[in-house]
Amino acid sequence: MLAELIHPLAAMGAQDWPYRPRPSSAGPNQCVRKLVYHAREFPRRQAHGRFLVVLDDSSWHEELTLNWIEQSAFQLRDRQTEVVCGETVFAGESYTILGHIDGIVTDLLGIDRLLEHKAIEHFTFQRYAEGDYPLDYFAQVCLYLRGITQLNPDIDEALLLIKNKNQSAYLEYRLHYDLPNDRLTVCEIVHSNGERSFPKQDVIGLYQQALARFAQIEQHRADQTLPDRPYEDDSNYHCQYCPYSRLCWEGHVAPVLTNTVPLSPDMAALAAEYLDLDARIKPLNKRFDHVKKLLKAGLKTQQASEAEGHGFIVRINQSTQTRHDVKLLPSYVQELAETSLSIEKLSVNRIAQEWGPLQTDPNPQVA
Ligand code: SF4
């Protein structure tokens, strides 16, 4: 009754934000082509209601986290304070890049730091927890720290706090910013599970690169051009969530691969690993499918949807899905809906080596 109501409601309230150079789009992993589409006001696909609800959830997660911090011995202030992050050119005129910070936290020693909060889904969180750096968030922090120094020149550190929305785990990066040299140092990473590390790793030039990208976007806007696509095809996850993907990849034909080249030693090692993994995964998948069938059959013979015992619960969740049976559609509709997808399939086979097996010494010396 209500489950189907919320996403359409969110979609009805969707707003189109015009392009502006913003700290949130300053990161090196942003697709510049997408930002140029936005700056040039190309029509974008309407965001799905579910996507808008996911974004809305993130701001509520931020609210909840900040409420917890306010109950701690840390002091939190200046929430949503506007800061001036720099100057660029937009629509042919000088443009001031503005940002709104999540707040300033003061620790028990009286040290002030910028606080930036993000709430993200489980898999991206895991990637960061395993060592990938969230460079787009780092760039945003650099812009905010630039802005904050105008209000308080003593603040040169930030806490980037990332929440796993699925599991309420937290990852915290303590970042130091050397403003004159545009050098961000990852001083400390703390996971809410107690893991802690001190990478002391520098990321240099995020701020200057952001300004260069804003200038590049402005140039494309003025020249009415588009930069190249940064991805090989539309299977990249950036493209899958991009509101311009249809427009961007329309008519794109993947280059035809015609050459035969010698395999390098590195590629040969990968090919051997591929075959080894394939040989190990296939029997496991087969057994996995078989075990699944046996469990389902075990429940069904007793007309049971659930069985519990010996520390396990086995359950069959039954539901219905609506699908379109294309064969029932008139043929002209089927033709209209027809689309061609390029498919790439990799195959790796072991071949007999041209130079035959390795020769062993016919007269081995035994020590
Ligand atoms: S579809 Fe992909 S390449 Fe094209 S603008 Fe969007 S993110 Fe960039």
For residue range 320-353, list pLDDT tens digits in order: 766 677 777 777 777 767 666 667 788 888 887 6
The amino acid that residue 137 corresponds to is Y
- Tens of pLDDT, residues 8-24: 888 887 777 899 999 99
pLDDT at residue 366 in the model: 39
Same domain as 165, residue 82: yes
* Complex-level ipTM: 0.99
233: its two tokens: 């095809």
pLDDT tens string 202-249: 999 999 999 999 999 999 999 999 999 999 888 898 998 899 999 999
Residue 220 beta carbon below 6 angstroms from any ligand 1 atom: no
Q: Both 166 and 289 in a single domain?
A: no
| One domain, residues 152 and 61 | yes
- Nearest CA to 103 out of 129, 73, 74 is that of 74
> What's the rounded Cα separation, in Å, for the pair 60 and 120?
12
- pLDDT confidence of 4, banded at 50, 70, 90? confident
Query: pLDDT of 348-367, one tens digit each?
Result: 888 876 554 444 444 434 33
- Give the ligand 1 atom nearest the CA of 239: 2
**42: confidence class by pLDDT, cuts 50, 70, 90:** very high
- For residue 349, being part of any structural domain is answered with no
Domain, as residue range, for 279:
263-306
CATH of the domain at 117: 3.90.320.10
Other CB atoms within a 10 A radius of the CB of residue 63 amount to 12
In a shared domain, residues 232 and 267: no
Longest Cα–Cα distance in the chain: 84
With contact defined as beta carbons under 8 Å apart, do 103 and 115 qualify?
yes
Of 227, 229, 231, residue with least CA distance to 216: 227
Is residue 100 over pLDDT 80? yes
Q: What percent of the chain has pLDDT over 70?
A: 93
Residues 78 and 165 in one domain: yes
Confidence band for 138, pLDDT divided at 50, 70 and 90? very high
CA gap 147, 99 in Å, rounded:
8
Q: Which residues contact 83 (CB under 8 A, 6 or more apart)?
A: 98, 99, 100, 101, 144, 147, 148, 150, 151
Same domain, 245 and 267: no
What residues have CB less than 8 Å from 221, skipping those under 6 apart? 36, 39, 40, 91
With a 6 A CB cut-off, is 175 part of the ligand 1 pocket?
Answer: no
Closest protein CA for atom 4 of ligand 1: 248
Q: Which atom of ligand 1 is nearest to the CA of 230?
A: 3
